[in-house]
A and B are shown apart, each in its own frame.
Chain A
Amino acid sequence: EAGVTQFPSHSVIEKGQTVTLRCDPISGHDNLYWYRRVMGKEIKFLLHFVKESKQDESGMPNNRFLAERTGGTYSTLKVQPAELEDSGVYFCASSQGGGSPLHFGNGTRLTVT
Chain B
Amino acid sequence: GESVGLHLPTLSVQEGDNSIINCAYSNSASDYFIWYKQESGKGPQFIIDIRSNMDKRQGQRVTVLLNKTVKHLSLQIAATQPGDSAVYFCAENKDDYKLSFGAGTTVTVRA
A105 to B36, CA, bound (A): 13
Q: Is the interface of B mostly helix, strand, loop or mixed?
A: strand
Residues of A within 8 A of B91 (CB): 43
* Closest chain B residue, CB of each to CB of A43: B101
Distance to closest chain B CB from A24 (angstroms): 13
Binary contact readout A4-47 vs B (1 if CB under 8 angstroms, 0 otherwise): 10100000000000000000000000010101000001111100
Q: Of A44, A45, A95, A104, which one neighbours B43 at CB under 8 angstroms?
A: A104
With A42-B103, A99-B32 already in contact, the answer to whether A106 and B98 are too (CB < 8 A) is no
> How many residues on chain B are close to A (CB under 8 Å)?
24
Q: Range of interface residues on chain A?
A: 20 to 34
The 3 closest A-B pairs by CB, nearest first: A104-B43, A43-B101, A104-B44
Binding site for A on B (CB under 8 A): 3, 32, 34, 36, 41-46, 49, 89, 91, 93, 95-104
